[in-house]
Structure 1
Amino acid sequence: MRFRDGMWLMAADKRIDYAEDIYSITDLPDGKGLELLCPVKKIRDRGDTLNCPTLTVKLEAAFDGVISFEVTHWAGAVKRGPNFDLYPDGRPESSASISRKDTGTTLSSGSLSATVTSEPQTFDIKFHSSDGSKELTSLLNRSVGMAYSPVTGNMKVVEDMRTFKHYIFTQSELGVGEGIYGLGERFGAFNKVGQRIQLLNEDGGTSSDQAYKNISFWLSSNGYGVFIDQPELVDLEIGSERCCRLQTSLEGQRLKWYVIYGPTPKEVLTRYSILTGKPSMVPAWSFGLWLSTSFTTNYDEATVTHFLEEMKSRAIPVEVFHYDCFWLRAFHWCDFVFSSSHFPDPKAQISRLKSGKLLNKVCVWINPYLGQASPVFDMAAEKGYLLKRKNGDVWQWDLWQAGMGIIDFTNPEASDWYLGCLSELFEIGVDCIKTDFGERIPTGDVQWFDKSVDPAKMRNYYAFIYNKLVYEAMEKRFGENQAVLFGRSACAGVQRFPLCWGGDCESTAAALAESVRGGLSIGLSSFAFWSCDIGGFEGRPNPWIYKRWVAFGLFCSHSRLHGSGSYRVPWLIDDDVKGEQSATAVLKTFVRLKRKLMPYLYAQAVESVEKGWPMSLRAMCLEFPDDPTSWFLDRQFMVGDSLLVAPVFTEGGEVEFYLPEGRWTNWWNDEVVEGPRWRKEKHGFGTLPIYVREGTVLVLGKEEGADGEGFGYDWFQQGGEVRLYHTKPGDSAALRDFEGKDCGIMKVGHDGEIEGHPIPALKGNWVLKILPD
């Protein structure tokens, strides 16, 4: 939202009032905050206080390192929900203090402080570290304000606000060279400076400025982050209207956000996850290969069985088989009824597939809509389970499904009915759910069952309600840390209900790069787990694209073969004609490699959940924040804290990537490369750049196992390998078994080997390898 025409003029269709003065500063009653009365003109005498709007600013200490900022114009505006579910695991104690000097009043919340100027007729609020070592950002002259559209001739005309829109905005300073990252799953430029971003969930694919997952949190390269505590549409001008400022605006009377200090980006994410919730853990089996029927392909019970038998014959274990949309009857989506002409006895089929060890788990696709052709529609409409228009009609349109309605999860009875449908799927043998859609929720001419709900806030927040309902149903059925969903829409807090995937991408190298950027960005919003459609969703992937995507996709936390109008089984990609370079061979290579890495991956996953960090597609800046180059890297990533991976985007295998400072060991040949440096390599389809960080104690499991043995295999009982990469005494690795249980710490001793040789508390045939040889 632009309020000005360049630096000097206001936009022709808007009237703007800025907070020009801090007239008074008052301590909040609990002693943990300040309230500022800010007139929109400079107050020089008592007469200036008349006919003068004011903005009220509240600064409050949330907890150590976090301070909230809230600006309000008219405090009488109704505070309608829904609101973000903050502090789901409890709120930490805050140790606030207020001090006053001639230069200003300072509110401190542990390591973070905000100082309000005492200079008269001036607006100046600075956020900085409490020890004074670091300035973070500021709100300076004409940086907090409100606006009317259209332009108001005088204040009397706002007696009737029905023909006016009222906006409120802030403009925080951007430092020289400061980068802004995150804001959910965004597929454009990694650094958001220079962009206008609207936080509004849309089904826009991966090649547009729209996003399925709009997360109102951004991370700065200057050692802090900002969480915007507003579920509705928030409009951001990130160095795009004023090049030196990040503007946050919305339609309404209040705007609230939190400044979160690190100083490291990892610490920022951990504090952010305390506010909005930490990710839940997922079971070990979910890290295995997921195979889908694809979307509009023609499939039935025989097709599913054939695919799984062929995968087994090629020694490629399928952990999860996913039934996409057409397990349901056409035009009936989503009434939870299997198409009897395609799947006459789904329960029996699923049982046969599992007992035959063709798969481990089963997933089905659902959405929160209901097509008019379904016999269930009339019942749902009559009982009030569907969102309504203000005149009482069911809200419907023909986009996606003819005459579809939207499940109104603010109605407890509708939620109970939906839970009953899910329970029936679990009885059939379904183990996990793909929660598709949940974007494009209407905000105009609608009335929710819960009349206290603001429709504008439901556009994004619906994703939270939808995913929470399904996740908790699975958790209740299968147990804590055993629930897995595959969601597409999200807002702040949905990281608590793993996992999500990147939505509809094309089958091109550009789309592969888009997916990498999307995964990096969502990871900087505390989403620990993320996936994408391997090979691309739209179109039929060229064999080389499919194979390059396989190599990347098996290094995502979760890995799924899925497409739209064509199958993604490897033998249909290039007919298995190229030996070790065939799609089948490449898929087998990387499935086995991921299996071998599972002891490391699972331990990293547990730490990521505990800290609120991304497990895979971890942006380089999280591990190397002091290396300026790391903030520009959007074509490579870390898997956990020790493995660097660089996807290949060319058919010929040429790839360029960056190694930060330190010694890095090539996974494939043990070559040691000193960083920092850029490096060029060329790779066949069976490899891609993988480098191990110095100081790594890498615990590896078995590469292959007995038929039907999945990614939940007990690696500590079956043996494996421990590799030490340029370690020193004290370097260590956490040990977690396949159920996530803490098995202690493996530490390097003074003799250069593992303390308690060979491997404490581990059984089986284990090998110790010290690198370099």
Structure 2
Amino acid sequence: MKFTDGLWRRPTGVDYVGGVEVVEVLQESKDGVEFIVAPKHVASRGDTLNTPLLTVSISSPMDDVIKVRLEHHRGGKNKGPHFELFPDGMPAVPATSVSRPAEGHMEFKSGSLAVDINTGPRSYALQFNTGDEFLCGTEPKGEGYADVPYHLTFGQQSQSGCLSTLADSMPRNDDFALDTTRATGLVRFMVTDLSLSTGETIYGLGERFGPFVKNGQVVGIWNQDGGTSSEQTYKNVPFYLSSKGYGVFVNHPEEVEFEVGREKCSKVGLSVRGECLEYFVIGGGSVKAALQNYVRMTGRPALPPAWTYGLYLSTSFTTSYDQKTVSGFLQEMRDRKCPVRVLHLDAFWMKRYDWCSFEFDPETFPDPEKYLTDVKREFGVKVCAWINPYVSQRARIFTEGAENGYFLKRKNGDVWQWDEWQPGMAIVDFTNPAACKWYAGLVQRMLDMGIDTVKTDFGERIPHLDVVYHDGSDPRKAHNFYSLIYNKVVFEVVEKKFGKHEAALFARSATAGGQRFPVHWGGDCESTYEAMSETLRGGLSLSASGFAFWSHDIGGFEGHPDPVLFSRWLSFGLFSSHSRLHGSASFRVPWNYGEDAVHITRKMVRAKCRLMPYIYGESLKAHETGVPVMRAMIIEFPDDPASTYLDKQYMFGDNLLVAPVFHDTRADFYIPAGRWTCFWTGEVIEGPRYVRKTDYPIDQIPVFVRPNSALLLGPEDVEMPDYDYAKAGLEVRTYELESEVEVKVPTGKGAKWAGSVKVTADGKVSANGVALKK
């Protein structure tokens, strides 16, 4: 949100108070510092009267991370929910220190990250540094609060929607936003402006389908169900990465707005309603290290089971299907040697109007348990089923949920209902432990029938007006956070049923910490090259926000793709961490798009299965470190200026560069420094250089292997992703070796390594615990 009119003026009615001078240090130790900041120079006792103060607390939860908490009035209730920090366990006590390096300066240091606090007259500022390198900072008046007339908050937050779009279509009685301690109709915002250096670029902020580089954008952290062709997104994360090798995490689950070089060209503005603002500056020495430290704070991703990397075949959404249709698709995929590993039953496995009832439609699945047993035995597939957290009043479970208080309520005590999506739809209240247990039981019953994994759809259209949560949560804070607790409840049921490292979801909504419950997919995209590219931008932004595993609807969700587009998207989809054929009104079976599509499906599925020792090894590393499997080039090559704006290609693990083709015949991509080898043909291209290839083969996608790499490939006839990699007889391929390379091989069963293969610079191979191809 903008709090200025140009550089110097304020919009009419906006009152801004910014910190100017440190007037008292309250605490100063290695555990942290706390001080009071006045909005003016205090030269005499009279200057202390009739003036607000800001309290600033600085501390560190772990090495290379510094927390800043800015507070105005402390007397308000700090309702939840709150992000869970360090869910995997607290890190070691950070190496911190506090010093006064010069008059008027105090320095707090954590690991290699330090913040200089300017305590001189009229000079309050923060400056974050790693060694001699300046990262970011604030200036005098750069931190404070603003009181904004209520009517100005409408229409000004063009990206977010909490007040402006009113996605819930509720009356404008937004009384939670009124600051009743001041003049009626003012909304209080806490504000910080962090510097944006010349040439510095910003990434992340969750899934974003617009420009990959966030400079020049205003980004509101507010989950919405708006498809992939707009500013709205399903997965909003209040964390950004800087090309300078640091990140900023704003520790607020409610709406946070980021003005990235937009309101002020040399600033990233952070704002949140209320009386406090808490953020973390996260260092580590590189873009990748800062991302890893953020993931340590908010939670490492679970490791999906190996079978989830195979091809998902969906029944699609509004298509008509029954047992015979589904089995027919699986048989035809088998006949065409296009192996399916997961069968996905989308919404209409349940009866129309009854979602989400958790009951099979008896007209199309008269004996669901027998059918699930038969289809899994006959075709060797796992089965995924679609659910959401909304319950139609036509569903048999509605009465039970309403009578027991399992749904969100209005302020008058009624169940919160509307007719969007489903008639008389209610929303499960996951802040109620009894409701969580009830919903978990519904999922458990479904798993006991034979379902193996769950697509957790929706979770974005959560009301924030005229709504009451069981635990008294602030509806603004609960709006985004809802996606986290919803997916957590379901994931834990699946994990309990099948065991650790055997649980996976296919989730759409998320916020900070949601990476702990993979896999996530990109939502509803159109069937165009433009939608294909915006889908990739969304995935790259999401991976820059800590999400390690990601998928999308091959061919697009809406519409019917032409055969060439579908074929290009097939290759992109099968060189993503997870791969799903899914559409809305038409089936995404490859023979609907011609024999080329069938051939490409067969070829790419087999290539992915052969690459599984590499892909699963990279996934295991992602689970251990937080570095995503699919990652933007800027994360891997931060010192290459060309990587700054590359948003049509990505690194697939440490050693593979993938560049989807966004034209019928032309491929464009960038090769970094070194001699990179085409995975398909063995062609070597020496970078750095941009490459354009015309008449690019329809059955290929640019995949280049990094120099000084060794890939271990499974058998040529392998058709499934989950096999014993160490015993399969792996083929060793080397690429432009310069020194000895050691490749670790996972077992394929959980987070364990089976052994390793070493290749010397002159090509000699030795294996430890791994069988190689003879």
Q: How does 1:281-300 map onto structure 2 within 5 Å?
A: 281-300=303-322
Structure 1's 39 and 646: CA in aligned 2 closer, same or farther, altered over 3 A? same
How far apart are the structure 2 equivalents of 1:454 and 1:760? 55
| AA partner of residue 673 (structure 1) | I
2:700 match:
687
Structure 1's 505 and 151: CA in aligned 2 closer, same or farther, altered over 3 A? closer
Q: Which of 599, 618, 623 is the matching residue for 1:604? A: 618
Q: Does 1:676 align with 2:688?
A: yes
2:676 match:
664
Q: Does 1:223 align with 2:245?
A: yes
How far apart are the structure 1 equivalents of 2:389 and 2:181? 41
2:650 match:
637
1:763 CA drift (Å): 2.7
1:586 match:
600
Partners of 1:366 and 1:435 within 8 A in 2: yes
TM-score (norm: length of structure 1): 0.94
1:355 CA drift (Å): 1.3
2:186 match:
164
Partners of 2:128 and 2:135 within 8 A in 1: yes
Q: Secondary structure of 2:603's match?
A: helix
How far apart are the structure 2 equivalents of 1:111 and 1:545? 48
1:63 match:
62
How far apart are the structure 2 equivalents of 1:314 and 1:181? 42
Q: Which of 407, 428, 431 is the matching residue for 1:386? A: 407
Partners of 2:306 and 2:748 within 8 A in 1: yes
How far apart are the structure 2 equivalents of 1:13 and 1:542? 54
Partners of 2:150 and 2:185 within 8 A in 1: no
Partners of 2:201 and 2:242 within 8 A in 1: yes
Partners of 1:21 and 1:120 within 8 A in 2: yes
Structure 1's 694 and 648: CA in aligned 2 closer, same or farther, altered over 3 A? same
How far apart are the structure 2 equivalents of 1:162 and 1:413? 39
Q: Secondary structure of 1:374's match?
A: coil
State which drifts further: 470-479 or 138-147.
Answer: 138-147
Q: Secondary structure of 1:5's match?
A: coil
2:156 match:
none
Which whole-Å deviations, capped at 9, do the CAs of 1:445-495 have from their partners, x for residues lacking one?
1111112x1111000000110000000101000000100100000010010
How far apart are the structure 2 equivalents of 1:751 and 1:675? 23
Which whole-Å deviations, capped at 9, do the CAs of 1:391-437 have from their partners, x for residues lacking one?
00111111111110000111111111111111111111100000000
1:512 match:
532
1:217 CA drift (Å): 0.7
| AA partner of residue 744 (structure 1) | G
Partners of 1:485 and 1:498 within 8 A in 2: yes
Q: Secondary structure of 1:733's match?
A: strand
1:719 CA drift (Å): 1.4
1:530 match:
550
How far apart are the structure 1 equivalents of 2:459 and 2:275? 27
1:118 CA drift (Å): 3.1
1:369 match:
390
1:94 CA drift (Å): 1.1
Structure 1's 568 and 728: CA in aligned 2 closer, same or farther, altered over 3 A? same
Q: Does 1:210 align with 2:253?
A: no
Q: How does 1:327-342 map onto structure 2 within 5 Å?
A: 327-342=349-364
Structure 1's 619 and 460: CA in aligned 2 closer, same or farther, altered over 3 A? same
1:771 match:
none
Partners of 1:165 and 1:251 within 8 A in 2: yes
Structure 1's 318 and 119: CA in aligned 2 closer, same or farther, altered over 3 A? same
1:312 CA drift (Å): 0.5
| AA partner of residue 6 (structure 1) | G
How far apart are the structure 1 equivalents of 2:351 and 2:763? 62
Q: Which of 725, 747, 754 is the matching residue for 1:743? A: 754
1:751 CA drift (Å): 4.5
1:579 match:
none
2:482 match:
462
1:21 match:
21
1:530 CA drift (Å): 0.2
Q: Which of 481, 489, 498 is the matching residue for 2:518? A: 498
Partners of 2:656 and 2:706 within 8 A in 1: yes
1:12 match:
12
1:770 match:
none
Partners of 1:595 and 1:703 within 8 A in 2: no
Q: Which of 624, 643, 657 is the matching residue for 2:637? A: 624
How far apart are the structure 1 equivalents of 2:219 and 2:670? 29
1:139 CA drift (Å): 0.5
2:171 match:
none
Q: Secondary structure of 2:22's match?
A: coil
Q: How does 1:423-438 map onto structure 2 within 5 Å?
A: 423-438=444-459
| AA partner of residue 436 (structure 1) | D
| AA partner of residue 123 (structure 1) | Y
Q: Secondary structure of 1:281's match?
A: coil
Q: Does 1:729 align with 2:751?
A: no
How far apart are the structure 1 equivalents of 2:647 and 2:467? 40
How far apart are the structure 1 equivalents of 2:282 and 2:181? 39
State which drifts further: 41-50 or 383-392.
Answer: 41-50
Q: Secondary structure of 1:282's match?
A: coil
Q: How does 1:204-283 map onto structure 2 within 5 Å?
A: 204-283=226-305
1:600 CA drift (Å): 0.6
Partners of 1:297 and 1:564 within 8 A in 2: yes
Q: Does 1:448 align with 2:469?
A: yes
Which whole-Å deviations, capped at 9, do the CAs of 1:644-681 have from their partners, x for residues lacking one?
11110111x21111111111011122121111111111
1:748 CA drift (Å): 2.5
Structure 1's 159 and 433: CA in aligned 2 closer, same or farther, altered over 3 A? closer
1:765 match:
773
Partners of 2:731 and 2:772 within 8 A in 1: no
How many matched pairs?
743
Partners of 2:409 and 2:416 within 8 A in 1: yes
How far apart are the structure 1 equivalents of 2:657 and 2:396? 52
2:174 match:
none
1:764 CA drift (Å): 5.6
1:728 CA drift (Å): 3.0
Q: Report the aligned-residue RMSD.
A: 1.5
Which whole-Å deviations, capped at 9, do the CAs of 1:35-82 have from their partners, x for residues lacking one?
121112221211111001111111112211000011001011111111
How far apart are the structure 2 equivalents of 1:143 and 1:474? 47
| AA partner of residue 144 (structure 2) | G
| AA partner of residue 698 (structure 2) | F
State which drifts further: 17-26 or 334-343.
Answer: 17-26
How far apart are the structure 2 equivalents of 1:695 and 1:336? 51
| AA partner of residue 528 (structure 1) | A
Question: Taking every aligned residue pair, what percent have the same amino acid on both sides?
Answer: 45
Q: Does 1:313 align with 2:335?
A: yes
| AA partner of residue 459 (structure 1) | H
How far apart are the structure 1 equivalents of 2:345 and 2:682? 41
Structure 1's 538 and 68: CA in aligned 2 closer, same or farther, altered over 3 A? same
Q: Secondary structure of 1:291's match?
A: strand
1:352 match:
374
State which drifts further: 344-353 or 373-382.
Answer: 373-382
1:143 CA drift (Å): 0.9
Partners of 1:128 and 1:135 within 8 A in 2: yes
How far apart are the structure 1 equivalents of 2:294 and 2:47? 41
Q: Does 1:173 align with 2:206?
A: no
Structure 1's 151 and 721: CA in aligned 2 closer, same or farther, altered over 3 A? closer
TM-score (norm: length of structure 2): 0.94
State which drifts further: 553-562 or 418-427.
Answer: 418-427
Structure 1's 151 and 440: CA in aligned 2 closer, same or farther, altered over 3 A? closer
Partners of 2:68 and 2:278 within 8 A in 1: yes
1:162 CA drift (Å): 5.5
How far apart are the structure 1 equivalents of 2:761 and 2:721? 34
Q: Secondary structure of 1:63's match?
A: coil
Partners of 1:666 and 1:689 within 8 A in 2: yes
2:420 match:
399
| AA partner of residue 615 (structure 2) | L
1:622 CA drift (Å): 1.5
